[in-house]
Chain A
Amino acid sequence: MSENSSRRNFLKMSGAVAAAGATGALGMAAPVQAKAMPTGKMMAALPKAKGPRLVVVGGGTSGLTIAKYAKKEYPKFDVVLVEKRDMYSSCFSSNMWYAGVINLEFLADHSFMDAAVNNGYVYFNATVTGLDRHSRTLETNEGDIHYDFLVLAPGISYDYEKIGVKDVEVMTALRQTYPGGFISPTEHVTLHRKIREFEGGVFLQTVPSGNYRCLPGPYERACLLASTFKKNKVKGKVLVLDANPEITIKKEGFHAAFNDLYKGYLEWLPSKAVMGVDVEKKVVKTEFDEFKFDDAAIYANVRGSTLIEQLGLMAPASKSNQKEANIDTRYYNIVGDPHVYVTGDSRPHPYSKSANTSNTEGHYMAKVLAARAQGKEIPWVSPRTICYSMVNANPLEAISVDAGYDYSAEKDAITGFSKDTKTFENRDGAKGQATLEWARGMYRDMFDA
């Protein structure tokens, strides 16, 4: 979807709201011939707020953590979680499904309703269509919701233009034929099928440049596919075309796995940024080469969710070259607006876009929101990136990293990893087991009381 077409679709979707708000918070120049119903006036079917209303948009790791812990930190909050999906399935840990290490229930047997009931908030199954920050109104396809505090945690979108795919027809075909598998459950289901159907040849996995979601994810997936092909004696290999000159994280552990375990089943080529895809012919183009594939997971660059752009909350290019949100570095509020926050993978920070980052950031943000609802401030705390990568499925073996981050007040920026950052790159069965329990702990922390 190009920027223009996405904007146009959004206008259509939000109809008269956008027309009314064309010069307001939505910041859209083009007027709309609104034939649509007078939306924006219907209120969502929600009980009257019994305290300061905190609306959280997005039921991923960030949103679920914040909804739960904000209520715990400040029980007066009246919390509403707005989520467009009616079925949860995590993106984290999904690579393990492809190798049969886990089943789909492991990822998806977690209910938004149970999370809400267990933790005293409301799950509202709706899609955001607009935002009026002046009247503090969030607009959804199920009606408007007034908020005192709004947290947007909409995750990421793919940026296909950055891999040279600008034509909307090619983009659409690519998106659904060779999905990256780093956003939605339906991508995971498609990839899972592809891997079981693969009979040999080249299975392409691309790695984008930039701060993409789950830095070790594409390498972990390459290992797990190679492990599966090797076990099933499939005459094929995983070709990893990496836009980066070196593996972006845990490189020693991944190189060791590539070399020790997957000779002949996995080929990793650095500095091969995809610059175009021919979906019909199954060819990707890089600067100097073309690569033919039999099947693929083409991971385009990552940007802040298109929702952030649509709501007019995007940071200028000088602050984020990935269309992320224009927020305060430490407290995540939209610059100049203490009522609206953006958390999770739409943040512009150089943090690893991982579940553990969003979960620990969510714990901290719950405290920030609780404090601000009471007119107080709290000191900044770094999120923590504990991240396991399963590099072998037969038997289970993993590597891991445990990272924190440093903030510079002088630069008002995150300057790098903190001193207590550790990597555990010798793969072993203990970490293989721990990888599973790490995920179960995440689910417990988000869904249980």
Chain B
Amino acid sequence: MDRRGFVKLCAGSAALAMASWDQAVLAAGFEAFPPAKLTNKIGIPLKAAEIPVGEALVFAYPVAGVPCFLINLGERASKADAAMKNEDGDYAWSGGVGPNGRIVAFVAICTHQMSYPQPEVSYLRYAASGSELAGAPGRIVCCAHASVFDPAEGAKVVSGPATMPLLPIRLVYDPVSDELVADGIMGMSYIKRYFKTYKADLNARFGAGGYRQEVGAKSACVPLSQYSGVVPAC
């Protein structure tokens, strides 16, 4: 979907929303957005080799108000899955990218009741070394209602009340430069509801409508522990 289409969708064009819903009932797919190079905090392209294994990095994509986790699975191999399912329909998740396919990215908004990382606090985190709720190392955990997702398996639900995987972000890896680009997202209907739910908060944080602005050619990745003041280790 191009910029105009996205803006229309966000503006609440019922016809468009309906069309997109109808198409999606059959199969969910990635929607392409202008590619954004993933960088470090100061705008220098991030090398896959620099991505830490201990915690998630947070970057915005495709628009300022959508936080995503960039995760290095470390020793765990990602497992592609052709039979994934979310509220828009069936889809295939093709696994991670980069050396040994260990780099994955998902929208960091819990699919249960929409907890997401904010400057003050994040109830959603990648618990690399496990936690009370996680049950095993390397899971994404939401403190709010104990949903657990496995990033190595397309962020499928492992336990808890969530009923669909975290929304996937499409990454493209360049083995020559060891750099990454995000260029697609799945599940814009969910993002649209998230915008509606948090509109007042998002306007306060990004300026009126700022959360809908595309991130541009670059998006900075920040460790979750720096992105959010408090990260409860549930």
Interface residues as binary, A405-449 with B (CB distance below 8 Å gives 1, 0 otherwise): 000000000000000000010000111111001101110110011
Is B196 part of the contact surface with A, judged by Cβ < 8 Å?
yes
Which residue of chain B has the shortest Cβ distance to A447 in the bound complex? B197
Q: Is the interface of A mostly helix, strand, loop or mixed?
A: helix
Interface residues as binary, B155-187 with A (CB distance below 8 Å gives 1, 0 otherwise): 000000100000000000000000000000000
**Distance of A47 Cα from B121 Cα, bound (Å):** 44
Complex contacts, A441 vs chain B, CB 8 Å: 112-115, 144-145
Is A360 part of the contact surface with B, judged by Cβ < 8 Å?
yes
**Contact of A437 (CB < 8 Å), options: B123, B193, B233:** B123
Give chain A interface residues in 339-373, CB to chain B under 8 Å.
356, 360
Q: Give the number of chain B interface residues (Cβ < 8 Å).
A: 19
Contact in complex: A433, B123 (CB < 8 Å): yes
Give chain B interface residues in 91-149, CB to chain A under 8 Å.
112-115, 121, 123, 132, 143-146
Contact in complex: B197, A448 (CB < 8 Å): yes
> Contact residue range for chain A?
20 to 34
Which residue of chain B has the shortest Cβ distance to A429 in the bound complex? B232
Is A278 part of the contact surface with B, judged by Cβ < 8 Å?
no
Complex contacts, A175 vs chain B, CB 8 Å: none
**Distance of A441 Cα from B194 Cα, bound (Å):** 12
Is B230 part of the contact surface with A, judged by Cβ < 8 Å?
yes
Contact in complex: A434, B232 (CB < 8 Å): yes
**Distance of A125 Cα from B143 Cα, bound (Å):** 35
Contact in complex: B123, A444 (CB < 8 Å): no
Given A402-B146, A433-B143, A448-B197 in contact, is the A424-B113 Cβ separation under 8 Å? no
Is A71 part of the contact surface with B, judged by Cβ < 8 Å?
no
Complex contacts, A384 vs chain B, CB 8 Å: 161
Contact in complex: A430, B233 (CB < 8 Å): yes
Complex contacts, A449 vs chain B, CB 8 Å: 193, 196-197
Contact in complex: B234, A431 (CB < 8 Å): yes
Complex contacts, B114 vs chain A, CB 8 Å: 441, 444
CB distance from B91 to the nearest CB of A (A): 21
Contact in complex: A430, B197 (CB < 8 Å): no
CB distance from A387 to the nearest CB of B (A): 11
Contact in complex: A118, B196 (CB < 8 Å): yes
Q: Is the interface of B mostly helix, strand, loop or mixed?
A: loop
Complex contacts, A424 vs chain B, CB 8 Å: 132
Which residue of chain B has the shortest Cβ distance to A424 in the bound complex? B132
CB distance from A250 to the nearest CB of B (A): 15
CB distance from B155 to the nearest CB of A (A): 18
Is A386 part of the contact surface with B, judged by Cβ < 8 Å?
yes
Contact in complex: B196, A437 (CB < 8 Å): no
Complex contacts, B146 vs chain A, CB 8 Å: 386, 402
Contact in complex: A440, B232 (CB < 8 Å): no
Complex contacts, B230 vs chain A, CB 8 Å: 433
Complex contacts, B234 vs chain A, CB 8 Å: 430-431, 434
CB distance from A402 to the nearest CB of B (A): 6
**Contact of A445 (CB < 8 Å), options: B113, B121, B132, B196:** B113
Contact in complex: B161, A360 (CB < 8 Å): yes
Contact in complex: A438, B145 (CB < 8 Å): yes
**Distance of A118 Cα from B193 Cα, bound (Å):** 10
Interface on A for B, CB 8 Å cutoff? 118, 356, 360, 384, 386, 402, 424, 429-434, 437-438, 440-442, 444-445, 448-449
Interface on B for A, CB 8 Å cutoff? 112-115, 121, 123, 132, 143-146, 161, 193, 196-197, 230, 232-234
With contacts A430-B132, A444-B197 known, what are 14 further pairs, Cβ within 8 A?
Answer: A386-B145, A429-B232, A433-B121, A433-B123, A433-B232, A434-B232, A438-B145, A440-B115, A440-B144, A441-B144, A442-B113, A444-B113, A448-B196, A448-B197
3 closest residue pairs by CB, A with B? A441-B113, A430-B232, A434-B143
14 A-B pairs with CB atoms under 8 Å apart are A118-B196, A360-B161, A384-B161, A386-B146, A424-B132, A430-B234, A431-B143, A434-B123, A437-B123, A437-B143, A440-B115, A441-B113, A445-B113, A449-B196
